[in-house]
Amino acid sequence: KEVTFIMVKPDGVQRGLVGEIIKRFESRGFQLVGCKMMSPSKEHLEKHYADLKSKSFFPGLIKYMSSGPVVAMAWQGKSVVKTGRAMLGATNPLESNPGTIRGDFCIDIGRNICHGSDSVESGKHEVELWFGEKTEDYSLCTESMIYE
Ligand code: GTP
Ligand code: MG
């Protein structure tokens, strides 16, 4: 089953958008299989963002991401990685379409309120990195109403 790692970043938590973001994924029909509020260490964030290490904005990104608690989530469903990214909107909120999470709720690229895995591979990898083996294995009783 396809999983993606979705995180409400510190600005999203501070701005009271946790419920809104969860609501959109739930309403769409995706299944929540992991959820926790936590304050990730800088070391953990450096692992999560390892591919961005050489970027000039990297130190600022780590500072921002460790400025307060985040809500880490694992979501499951058909095409949840690609669809999740579409629901988040473009990385730069000024380029995100209205109707997307970033397009509706934020302005700056360095304060873009949420994270979503960018490939099926990184979805698996990031869920493993943030949750280990501790995601839930269950089926929704509405499954036959969501999937043909
Ligand atoms: P995530 O879902 O958060 O991973 O965003 P993304 O996959 O759309 O973008 P990417 O992985 O390339 O960058 C990760 C995060 O770094 C972004 O979400 C931004 O918060 C931040 N970031 C990316 N590019 C820039 C930039 O040019 N300037 C600043 N200040 N931050 C950036
Ligand atoms: Mg990314």
Give tens-digit pLDDT for 27-70.
Answer: 999 999 999 999 999 999 999 999 999 999 999 999 999 999 99
Has 102 been labeled as part of a binding site? yes
Atom of ligand 1 nearest to the CA of 9: 3
For a mutational test of ligand 1's pocket, the pick from 62, 91, 127, i.e. the residue with the most ligand atoms closer than 8 A to its C-beta, is: 91
pLDDT at 130 over 90: yes
Rounded alpha-carbon distances, angstroms, from residue 78 to 13, 29, 41, 57, 139: 27, 10, 32, 33, 13
CA dihedral 47, 49, 52, 54 (to 10 degrees): -40
**Centre of ligand 1 from the C-alpha of residue 91, in Å:** 6
Q: What is the pLDDT of residue 12?
A: 98
Q: How far is the CA of 17 from the centre of ligand 1 (A)?
A: 19
In this prediction, residue 133 has a pLDDT band, given cuts at 50, 70 and 90, of confident
Using the mean position of ligand 1's atoms as its centre, give its distance from the Cα of residue 114 in Å. Answer: 10
Q: Which ligand is nearest to the CA of 55?
A: 1
Length of the chain: 148
Q: Cα–Cα distance between 12 and 134 in angstroms, integer?
A: 24
Q: What is the mean pLDDT of residues 4-20?
A: 98
What ipTM does this complex have?
A: 0.96
pTM (two decimals): 0.97
Residue 134 has pLDDT above 90, yes or no: no
115 is catalytic: yes
